């Protein structure tokens, strides 16, 4: 993770999506996750990483997603912004995380459903499987290609901050939305997709 992203993650939690909450623990959880990751989650460096370049779009062929990416920052209370409900059909990249292809976990959030707006851009995120392709289009013209390594559905109360926020020594991607049983507009769980950089092309 870059110094900027580590600072942001340790001072803020992922906020609740309106009608589709994303829980990310508190700042202390994120800090502990970062430290724990450095001790426990060392992996073989792929030897490939990209320069920082803002992601403009995301394509996931297996679930028919092709979305522009909006930039998400921090709200006044220190939580991470989420796409507005009027952008239920678009995902958002958290701008204090690495860009896709940089070393570290790049974080992208999207709604699963949004009240009367219906299905969100990540409605079928939980259907992804190991090896499925994810393509991030970057501002510099590069396409960063990732492969899904894991899909996890976890209770919001047990959000795995270490696994999501923690430092890794290769480029990875995190896609986050909601899932599990639903009560009104709220969901019990989060769906988290983990992916690793496999290739890059102009």
Average pLDDT over residues 65-73: 96
Report the DSSP beta bridge partners of residue 45.
none
| pLDDT, tens digit, 9 for 90 and up, residues 51-64 | 999 999 999 999 99
Question: Can you tell me which residue has the tokens 């059909």?
Answer: 89
State how far the Cα of 138 lies from the Cα of 202, in Å rounded to an integer: 9
Closest CA to 102 of 202, 13, 3, 22: 3
Is 192 buried (19+), middle (13-18) or exposed (0-12) by CB count in 10 A? Answer: buried
**pLDDT band at 116; cut points 50, 70, 90:** low
Higher pLDDT, 79 or 155: 155
Q: What is the pLDDT of residue 138?
A: 98
Q: Is residue 31 scored above 70 in pLDDT?
A: no
The domain spanning residue 159 has which CATH number?
A: 2.40.260.10
Cα dihedral 25, 30, 32, 37 sign: positive
Tally of structural domains, the chain: 1
Q: Which domain holds residue 187?
A: 3-201
**pLDDT band at 165; cut points 50, 70, 90:** confident
Higher pLDDT, 66 or 15: 66
Average pLDDT over residues 68-88: 88
**CB proximity list for 127: less than 8 A, separation 6 or greater:** 62, 63
Q: Is residue 185 scored above 80 in pLDDT?
A: no
User: Please, what is the average pLDDT of the chain?
Assistant: 80
Question: Can you tell me which residue has the tokens 């970062």?
Answer: 34
Share of the chain above pLDDT 90, in %: 55
Q: Is residue 162 scored above 90 in pLDDT?
A: no
């Amino acid at each position: 993770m870059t110094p900027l992203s580590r600072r942001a993650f340790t001072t803020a939690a992922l906020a609740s999506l309106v009608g589709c909450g994303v829980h990310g623990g508190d700042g202390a959880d994120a800090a502990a996750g970062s430290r724990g990751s450095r001790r426990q989650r060392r992996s073989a460096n792929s030897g490939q990483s990209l320069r920082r370049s803002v992601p403009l779009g995301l394509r996931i062929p297996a679930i028919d997603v092709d979305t522009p990416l909006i930039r998400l920052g921090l709200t006044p209370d220190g939580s991470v912004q989420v796409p507005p409900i009027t952008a239920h059909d678009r995902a958002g990249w958290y701008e204090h995380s690495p860009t896709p292809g940089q070393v570290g976990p790049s974080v992208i959030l999207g709604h699963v459903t949004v009240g009367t707006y219906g299905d969100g851009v990540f409605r079928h995120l939980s259907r992804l499987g190991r090896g499925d392709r994810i393509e991030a289009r970057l501002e510099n013209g590069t396409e960063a290609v990732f492969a899904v390594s894991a899909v996890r559905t976890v209770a919001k109360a047990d959000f795995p901050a270490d696994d999501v926020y923690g430092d890794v020594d290769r480029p990875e991607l995190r896609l986050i939305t909601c899932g599990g049983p639903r009560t009104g507009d709220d969901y019990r769980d989060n769906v988290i997709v983990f992916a690793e950089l496999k290739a890059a092309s102009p």
